[in-house]
Chains A and B, each alone.
Chain A
Amino acid sequence: MTAGSDDAVLLERVVGGDHDAFSTLMRRHQDRVFSVCLRVMSNRSAALDATQETFLTVYRKASQYRATAAVGTWIYRIAVNTCYDLLRKERRRPSEPMPDYLDPADPNAGDRFDSVELAPSIAAALASLSPEFRAVVVLSDIEGYALPELAELLELPLGTVKSRLFRARKQLASQLGNLLGGTEHPS
């Protein structure tokens, strides 16, 4: 059984009221959901809220899942849309949240940057993008989604994904400046 079909079986059991199945599904996807939320929200606390809201929505909408996309894709789509919703609400509030890279150091945090000098610049550059551009570049270049899969996840035409990706990287390039010179180009 593949992980995808396994997820579908779990989700079916969730619809039937099996909380253990939901717990298993959550454990399987929570790190990646959190990772996506953290990069899109730019704030650890907000990302935790978004992750929690995502899984509550997954539970609430489990019966609405249609097997036109993998369960994982469906879950990450909910995560991205939840982030958009939270960011939209945040935008209408007077104060901005403290960016994640300025949060007090948490010695137990699992996502400490390997390079403390480089990572804050990248995080700041990412935070400067619009949520829509940030989501595309995070899912593609950090989470490693292939473009067709990303288009399915975001429910956007492939051309729109490419266009957003080009512009997002272009903006990042101007923000990151010299940092780009020392980076090894992937083949």
Chain B
Amino acid sequence: MNHTEHDHDLIAGYASGHEADRVQAEALLASCPDCAVDYREQLSVKGVLGTLPAARLTEAEAAALTQVVMSQMPAPMMGSVVDIGTARAQKPLSPIWGRMTAVAALLAGVVLVGTVITSGGGGSTAATTGALESQLAERSTDALTATTAANAATTAAASEAAGAATTFASDTAGDADSIDAVAAEAERMMFQLNNEDSSQTTAAATTLAYSDACPELAELEILASADASLNDRPVVILIVESDSGPLAQAFYTDDCTEIDLTPND
């Protein structure tokens, strides 16, 4: 008898003691010597793994865990929506993140104005971008100069958003500051996501846009995205869903390497 994927499932199930597989598996093993070998091998591995003792926390580790977790617990969460603001509050912002958040909040206001222009005014993207550019030129800090901005997370026009770019000029900021600028943009997206629903169509467009070059992106559940550039390289900033809550990530899209957004203290 030939092995098939189905047979393997049956053998694994029977070796695990899955009662529903017993009759069929016994018939298979009686007629297929190779299957019987596989079965014995499965049992052997299961047996060896069973010799590993269960891991336990030491008393000191358990005490430390309790202390750390309880100290990071915010006010109780009510309702059924993940509150990003509260989640973020569990980890105090470092000074640089605090500073960048202030800059980001300023930019968020500017970008929201741009969004209104885009969706309500009927003007072209270029015109909107130009308007934003001039506002940003007046308001941006030395560390962060945005030459073009797009609110990719919330725009109604997903295709436009996927093609729009947020560029951080590297000539006015060193590498670290530029990464800080990307981090600030990510923080702004988080902020915005916390205050209004993100566009899944934008996320889908992002996944599609980079799925060839960056197949890893296809595995992520993207809540919001924005295109950018850093050091003359294309970058995508993402807010992705994770079991630890929404998570900000950024990647160079030319080689898919992740940009470390961890703040420098």
A30 to B82, CA, bound (A): 23
A47 to B54, CA, bound (A): 14
For chains A and B in complex, what number of residue pairs have CB atoms within 8 angstroms?
A: 192
B45, A169: Cβ atoms closer than 8 Å: yes
Select the stretch in B98-106, B151-159, B183-191, B239-247 that faces chain A: B239-247
A141 adjacent to chain B (CB < 8 Å): yes
A173 to B37, CA, bound (A): 12
A60, B5: Cβ atoms closer than 8 Å: no
Q: Which one of B41, B43, B45, B57 lies within 8 Å of A110 (CB-CB)?
A: B57
A170, B41: Cβ atoms closer than 8 Å: yes
A172, B45: Cβ atoms closer than 8 Å: yes
| Minimum distance in angstroms from B80 CB to a CB of chain A | 6
Q: Which chain A residues (93-119) contact chain B, with CB distance < 8 Å?
A: 106, 108-115, 118-119
Q: Contacts of B8 on A, CB cut-off 8 Å?
A: 162-163, 166-167
A38, B55: Cβ atoms closer than 8 Å: yes
Q: Contacts of A128 on B, CB cut-off 8 Å?
A: none
Q: Which one of A16, A19, A147 lies within 8 Å of B16 (CB-CB)?
A: A147
Which residue of chain A is the closest to B14 with respect to CB atoms?
A162
Q: Which one of A48, A61, A62 lies within 8 Å of B61 (CB-CB)?
A: A48
Question: Which residues of B are in contact with A by a Cβ distance under 8 Å?
Answer: 5, 8-13, 15-18, 38, 40-62, 65-66, 68-70, 72-73, 75-80, 82, 86-87, 90, 242-245, 247, 257-258
Question: Which residues of A are in contact with B by a Cβ distance under 8 Å?
Answer: 14-17, 19, 22-23, 26-27, 30-32, 34-35, 38-39, 47-48, 51-53, 55-57, 59-64, 78, 81-82, 85, 92, 106, 108-115, 118-119, 122-123, 126, 137-138, 140-143, 146-148, 159, 162-163, 165-167, 169-170, 172-173, 176, 179-181, 183-186
What are the 8 closest A-B residue pairs judged by CB atoms, nearest first?
A110-B56, A17-B76, A111-B55, A166-B12, A81-B243, A162-B9, A141-B49, A35-B55
